Amino acid sequence: MELYVGRPNVPDVKGFTDRAEEILKNRRLTNNGPMVRELEARLSDYLDVKHVVCVCNATIGLSVAAKVLDLRGEVILPSFTFIASAHALAWQGITPVFCDIDPRTHNIDPARLEKLITPKTTGIMGVHIWGRACPHDELLSIARKHNLKLFYDAAHAFDATYQSRPIAALEDLSALSFHATKSFHTFEGGAIVTNDEELARKARLMINYSFEGADTVTGLGLNAKMSEIHAAMGLCNLDAYPTVLKRNREVYELYRKGLADIAGISLIEYPEKEKNNHHYVVIEVDHDGYALSRDELYRRLQESGIMARRYFYPGCHKSQPYASQYPNTNLPLTDRLCARALVLPGGSGIDRVGQMTEILRMIKV
């Protein structure tokens, strides 16, 4: 038995092959074709955001977002995130400044963030970890107070809300991930989403080399477009998404019941009043109350074919090149969480009740 975190959801095969045949028949494979335009329009409706600009992946989406916002100097973000969040900035010569987290939410801590602002700071990148929203109102207040741009890595947060508002519509803009391991995917891909028409216009130009018309280049751009075949997968997955959500929630609830009485193991909860895709089943392992350390449990599960993941170990600030560049970064709460967090297989990664039983048996040492 091998069970994986982020096992890809696969939609109706016939529906996908029909769309693939249509693409080949039209011989329109890329360059803002009809499938991409349809996906952007449907996502705009589904996510309740005015502008959706589909891109080849979320890392490029974040990088384009930073460029659209004219960020330079320093940008503050959490270290407890996937390394792509920092790389998207560093590739442009922007210095990522790592902030500690709120241990209750695992998201960036606004109080600690404000202390990191310098004359070189131009922006804040919030990351909606596990799809649970950052404290947007507090971040927005800080951004306005210090005249900073605010944008979000919303890779985990497809279809999530903040105070009943769509996360996709928060200021200034957000980048979504449609990687194969996400609850909604396009094989590989992502999107820049915003309610700001001018930011959307700039992003759309930038992802196509900044061509305005057939032969007029108006600025610095790159090739970040989504292809038609990726959009076709997205359209099929959007049709299937209600089923995905239902399965994610069912599996999450089974974990909640199964883990409830295990001392030293706490399951990360999702706010009941907010929408969340329940894609991530995350536990914290407290070695003071549990027989094993997080890493001992991790190895025990891996050896049994249960491919749990240590997100986001060891933290961006302890990964290269940042560990060498900023050796004195002190983030005790991030370090503590990196030593405790473990992501378990969820959603369509669990096919049968017996698989769930085996996972729980391995945890109940």
Query: What is the mean predicted confidence (pLDDT) over 42-62?
Result: 98
CA distance 39 to 48: 14
- Taking the alpha carbons at both ends of the chain, their separation in whole angstroms is 19
Look at the chain and report how many structural domains it folds into: 2
Show which of 206, 237, 268 is a domain's final residue.
237
Residue 234 phi, psi dihedral angles, 5° rounding: -60, -40
Whether residue 179 sits in one domain with residue 247 = no
Q: Is the pLDDT of residue 230 over 90?
A: yes
Q: pLDDT for 309-354, tens place per residue?
A: 999 999 999 999 999 999 999 999 999 999 999 999 999 888 877 8
Closest to 124 measured CA to CA, from 180, 71, 48, 189: 71
Query: What is the mean predicted confidence (pLDDT) over 92-116?
Result: 97
Residue 103 phi, psi dihedral angles, 5° rounding: -65, -20
Distance of CA 330 to the CA centre of its chain: 24
CB 185 within 8 A of CB 179: yes
CB 210 within 8 A of CB 217: yes
CA distance 260 to 283: 11
What CATH number is attached to the domain comprising 338? 3.90.1150.10
Enumerate helices (H) and strands (E) in the chain, giving the number of each: 12, 14
Q: pLDDT for 338-350, tens place per residue?
A: 999 999 999 988 8
- How many residues does this entry show for the chain? 365
What is the extent of the structural domain holding 68? Answer: 3-237
CA distance 237 to 16: 9
CA distance 206 to 97: 26
Whether residue 269 sits in one domain with residue 167 = no
Whether residue 261 sits in one domain with residue 142 = no
Whether residue 157 sits in one domain with residue 59 = yes
Q: pLDDT for 251-286, tens place per residue?
A: 999 999 999 999 999 999 999 999 999 999 999 999
Please state the pTM of the whole predicted model.
0.96
Distance of CA 318 to the CA centre of its chain: 20
Query: What is the mean predicted confidence (pLDDT) over 131-158?
Result: 98
Show which of 184, 214, 237 is a domain's final residue.
237
Q: Is the CA virtual torsion 67, 315, 299, 357 positive or negative?
A: negative
Query: What is the mean predicted confidence (pLDDT) over 51-67?
Result: 98
Show which of 237, 257, 292 is a domain's final residue.
237
Query: What is the mean predicted confidence (pLDDT) over 205-212?
Result: 96
Query: What is the mean predicted confidence (pLDDT) over 132-150?
Result: 98
Paired tokens of 181 = 């391991």
What CATH number is attached to the domain comprising 90? 3.40.640.10
CA distance 60 to 223: 10
Question: Side chain identity at 196, as an amino acid letter?
Answer: D
Whether residue 125 sits in one domain with residue 144 = yes
**Torsion, CA 207, CA 208, CA 211, CA 212, rounded to 10:** -70
